[in-house]
Structure 1
């Protein structure tokens, strides 16, 4: 087997290890919070201004209903989130951050920014931008319907709001 084939085969392991190291480092940076995981879940609720349904959150995170239910129960038990009735649809609920959850989300955002700086140490701004664009292309390649993908729609709306 040639070197290129071995590198192609290793990409899954590489992404897996990067994910493990990134999340472990983030958890270490946030050891003073009551959370040991689900930082990105809080971040997404924060970004949606506490107006996101459990199903929409599950779609963004690419997890099934049962896993999302376990995460929500864990975050509720830790006092991070509360369920609020959706004013537009009385049959559904929005997930909202509690005061404690909002502070933890802000702490997590600060830690993510610091980790981002560490991750991209030695990268020029152009290299960082190119890397992020390449990751998005990889994501799109693995997504069956990129036009309707909840995460891609979220990224697009986030970029548009940052421009204004």
Structure 2
């Protein structure tokens, strides 16, 4: 294995390890999975949204979104309902109490992010964001066919 391949493999393995550790610590700090936090954050940004549109907007498979929403509804965090003029679509919105709680928790999330990215200069943060976006774009373009797999 040449040095270039070895470095790429080390970067890939380190990204996986950091992602696993980051998600684990985030979930421990906030008592919720990153998927659930993503759903709640999206709902906080939108007053109400059809469940089908939410499933398309968050980067989580539809079955998992449905499971999260059912659990959040049972806990009283969200409300799912039908509108009188369209009984086909199920709409989702945050409960008002949950909305206030989520806004209050943003301070804790901000502190977690600050500590996670401590000791980086603004220029390093911009460069890091550029590189992470580049990796993300590359991952988005990779298909099984690109890797020599089935079509």
For each residue in 1:45-70, what CA deviation from the matched residue of structure 2 results, as whole angstroms up to 9, or x when unmatched?
A: 1122x323323332233332212111
Superposition TM-score, scaled by structure 1 size: 0.70
- CA RMSD in angstroms comes to 2.5
TM normalised by structure 2 equals: 0.75
Q: Which residue is equivalent to 1:46? A: 44
Deviation of 1:18 (Å): 2.0
Structure 1 spans left out of the alignment, 5+ residues: 145-164
Q: Distance in 1 between matches of 2:14 and 2:85?
A: 43
Deviates more, 1:9-18 or 1:122-131: 9-18
- Asked which structure has the greater RCO (Cα within 8 Å, sep 6+), the reply is 1
CA drift at 1:90: 4.6
The count of corresponding residues between Structure 1 and Structure 2 is 139
Look up the match of 1:25: 25
Q: Does 1:109 pair with 2:106?
A: yes
1:143 aligns with 2:116: no
Q: Secondary structure at the match of 1:63?
A: coil
Unaligned ranges ≥5, structure 2? 142-151
Instruction: Report whether the alignment pairs 1:95 with 2:92.
Output: yes
Give the stretch that moved more between structures: 113-122 or 91-100.
Answer: 91-100
Larger of the two Rg values belongs to structure: 2
Q: Which of 122, 127, 141 is the equivalent residue of 1:125?
A: 122
Match of 2:77 in 1: 80
Separation in structure 2 between the aligned mates of residue 10 and residue 72 of structure 1, nearest angstrom: 37
